[in-house]
Structure 1
Amino acid sequence: METQHTSSFSAPELVALSRVETVPLAGRLARSLLILFFILMVLLAFTPWQQNVRGIGRVVAYAPAERQQIISAPVEGRVGRWLVREGTQVKQGAVLAELLDNDPLLMQRLASEQHALLARQVATDSRVNTFHEQLRMAEQARPQALSAAESRVNMARERRKAAEQLVDAAKAARQTASLNLSRQQQLQGKGLASQRTLELSQLEMAQREAEVKRAQSGLHAAKNEIDALSADRQKLTADAAAAIEKARAELNKAVEDQNYVIADLLKLETRLARQQTQTVTAPQDGTVLRLLANPGAELVKAGQALAILIPDSEQRAVELWVDGNDLPLIVIGSRARLQFEGYPAIQFGGWPSFSVGSFAGRVALIDATDDGKGNFRVLIIADADDDVAWPSMRFLRQGVRVNGWVLLSQVTLGYELWRIFNGFPMLILPELNEMGNPKGENDSHVNHEKKGS
């Protein structure tokens, strides 16, 4: 190969080439550059390198209540007029729009329906009071009626006793008349008594027999009267209980009707209150972003979106999306560097101290699930320990895009290159406790203090 290469040159050229000499300065410069290159490689191999996880996101409000909100229509109708424009700064409670109902006579009809329900309520209240009084009177009359029935039964029992005594007296009189009749018959047989005396004795005997039958009839009637009055007492007890239960059932029905009227009246009052609230107000301080309904022509339903409000946020945060492969490397409290869109910056991921225009942050929240595409949301807030504050609201409007780097362990550049060439993962940071220290470190210190005490 060398013979073929040199054959392409002529003899004078070979002689000239043999006489050419390298300039000493150039040789020394080449050696110096080579040495500097090796020294630089050695220094770079031991240069500190900050491992990081990159993500993209946007600026949001830290409190969910201060993020973008949809303002809905409180009632059905149409937008009469807007009192604001897109971009208007509003205060809490400021009127944004006035709504008009589709039926101009609806309020009058609702008022008439309310008057009818109020009259119906008065009627049902009167019925309830009436049935209350009927129930009270029936409960009061029941013991009095039962007492009167019991008194009538006791009187009948006394009459039965009197009838029994009359029967006994009549039987005694009949016995006496029977003895007298036997005596007169004996005397008549001996001729010692006249026929007239015997006839009088027979008449007296017949009268006493009639009195016994009359007394027995009276006793039977007294017994029947007791049975009848006892049955009347039982019937009166049942009738009184039935009257009380009927009055109670009617009272319950009237109370039910009263409750229905109250429910209908409450529903109507709710409709009236909603219809009377035909103004849309701002729920909090903020800026009107979009107006979603045209005034005058467009009909809206209750709950339909009318406008979008961006609340004034007191504390801003960055919603950063990172890949699921990098998520295990991030823990709550990890430091981050953020580059906001529209704000001039020069960022070195591995050397955050040399970055210009980027801002410090801390990981405050890591979502428990992804967005359906394998990306996880990490919420980053300003680092209170950093002296450089985040830009003002002029630069950090909600929705401004952000490039972020979550900082991990600090290693040497040589180790990082070796890790990348071999495909090894980055170092996993330990989880931090509430004091900002790795879990276990502060706890063991506390346990040691407890043991010492």
Structure 2
Amino acid sequence: MEKFITANIEETLPGSKWQAFGKIYRIRHKSNIKQWLLGVLVVLIIVMFLPWTQNIRAKGTVTTLRQEQRPQEINTVIAGRVEKWYVKEGDFVQAGDTLLRLGEVKVDYFDPELLPRTKQQITAKQQSIEGYKNKANTAVTQAKALAQGRELKLQSLENKLQQQYLKVISDSTDLIAVENELSVYKRQIAAAQLMLDSGSISLVDFEKRKVGYQNASAKRISSQNKLAQSRQELIALRIEMNSAVQEYTDKISKAEGDRYSSLSSVASTEADVAKLQNAYASYDIRNKLYYIIAPQSGQITKARKEGIGEMVKEGDMIVEIVPDHVQYAVEMYVAPMDLPLMDTGQKVRFIFDGFPAIVFSGWPSSSYGTFAGRVSAVETSVSYNGKFRVLVTEDPSEKKWPSLLRMGGGANGIALLKDVPVYFELWRNINGFPPEYYKPSAVKEKDGGGKKDK
């Protein structure tokens, strides 16, 4: 027993009756552990110097860059009652398709002949405008006729005034002649008195001369009266002329007043017509609003009013429509610490829900199933979740995004930063340092993309 214990196993094995030694121990096998360890170490050292793309990971959802391409509510502008549905949830519609017909619920619009009757009121008002315009034109014609009549009347009175003025001159001339004659008779009567006193003439001759003097005095009084009467008639003609001017001025002013009154009625009636036309247009538009029309092509979802006869108020949501032609984008949220690392034009790789992918975050070119994007906008205000929203659109220079993407789908984003060695990235993560700041420069390319400036 002691010999067996102290004997070399290699010497004992061949002659041993125990076969287990041959099964368990491989005595003559040489170990390669050293070579493997050395090879793995060399590979690790090589890997440490391989380039590694720094990145930031952020979860996001599929959306669209343009507001009009996002799911939108279709609301009713007027209050009404549901009368008929033309679509159901899940249907695809084209822009302009009728979705729903509403019925009227306001008493002011119950009249089925509201539009024709409003049109009749407009026509009547327009005819009234024509009548007022014709009345104004008639007043203009009347004013012109009165002006012409005034001119004729003034010319006639002017002629009479001229004649009367000549008559006054004639009567004044006659008066002068009579006064001259009276002065002669006066001298003669004085001479006759002296002659009578001297006895040169008889009393009969003296009486004849005295009668002639008295006749001349009477004739002078008559001429004076006639001249006064002529002057009075001249004054009366002038008064008549002023009266005629005043009379015609009053008539012309009244005609002008009627004209301006007609024009005022025209303006007032035109205002009424404008109000009626406004009401008519409103009624016409309201009739069209009874039919809810699809604003764009898409799928009908989330019907809020179902039953026939249900009431809806102004602004109530009827259904939601999801557009079918969408320029997809991804909205993702980054932490405030990573916000300085994000900038417009930066490259991002995405893994979309439902699309398998093999990802090597440090070697994006070796990944499979990821899709490229570029940062389109970085919001400067914090969102409700305490992070900042970043919008990323499809990179036109890379593989197109899947056509089966849908709004609201999940996306896992990997924002690509600077290329560094693997050992540097390990050292950075061990020390908890952030990725190196990198700001992409806008480089114009034919495909509209950009490349990183390292």
Give the TM bin, normalised by the shorter chain. 0.7 to 0.9
Q: CA deviation at 1:275?
A: 1.8
SS in 2 for 1:431: coil
Query: Quick one: which amino acid aligns to residue 441 of structure 2?
Result: E
1:197-276 alignment to 2 at 5 Å?
A: 197-230=209-242, 232-233=244-245, 236-237=248-249, 240-241=252-253, 243-276=255-288
Q: Which residue of 2 aligns with 1:188?
A: 192
Alignment of 1:53-452 (within 5 A): 53-102=56-105, 106-108=110-112, 110-111=114-115, 113-114=117-118, 117-118=121-122, 120-141=124-145, 143-148=147-152, 150-152=154-156, 154-186=158-190, 188-189=192-193, 190-191=195-196, 192=201, 193-230=205-242, 232-233=244-245, 236-237=248-249, 240-241=252-253, 243-386=255-398, 388-393=399-404, 396-420=405-429, 421=431, 423-435=433-445, 436=449
Q: Aligned-residue CA RMSD in angstroms?
A: 3.4
Q: Matched residues in 2 for 1:219 and 1:99: separation?
A: 92
Name 1:446's counterpart in structure 2: none
Shift of 1:222: 1.0
Q: Which moved more, 1:103-112 or 1:81-90?
A: 103-112
Cα pair distance change 1:144/1:312, threshold 3 Å: same
Write the distance in 2 (CA, Å) between the matches of 1:360 and 1:155: 108
How many positions carry a matched residue from both structures?
416
Give the superposition deviation at 1:297.
3.3
Q: 1:227 to 1:349 in 2, by over 3 A?
A: farther
Change (3 A) 1:422 1:305: closer
- Structure 2 Cα separation of the partners of residues 424 and 315 of structure 1: 33
Amino acid at match of 1:312: D
What residue is the counterpart of 1:6 in the other structure?
none
- 1:74-114 CA-to-partner distances (Å, cap 9, x unmatched) read 54311112222111122222222222223698142524641
* Aligned-residue offset at 1:178: 1.0
SS of 2:418's equivalent in the other structure is strand
- Is 1:181–1:205's contact at 8 Å kept on the other side of the alignment? no
Q: Distance in 1 between matches of 2:142 and 2:414?
A: 86
Over 6 Å off, 4+ runs? 23-28
Could you tell me the TM-score, scaled by structure 2's length?
0.79
Instruction: Give the equivalent residue in structure 2 for 1:12.
Output: none
The match for 1:50 is: 53
Letter in 1 for 2:214: Q
SS in structure 1 of the partner of residue 276 of structure 2: helix
C-alpha distance 115-28 of structure 1, shift in aligned 2 (>3 A): closer
Identity of aligned residues (%): 24
Name the larger-Rg structure.
2
Matched residues in 1 for 2:234 and 2:385: separation?
Answer: 103
The 2-side partners of 1:416 and 1:255 are apart by 84
Cα contact 1:167–1:215 (8 A) shared by 2: yes
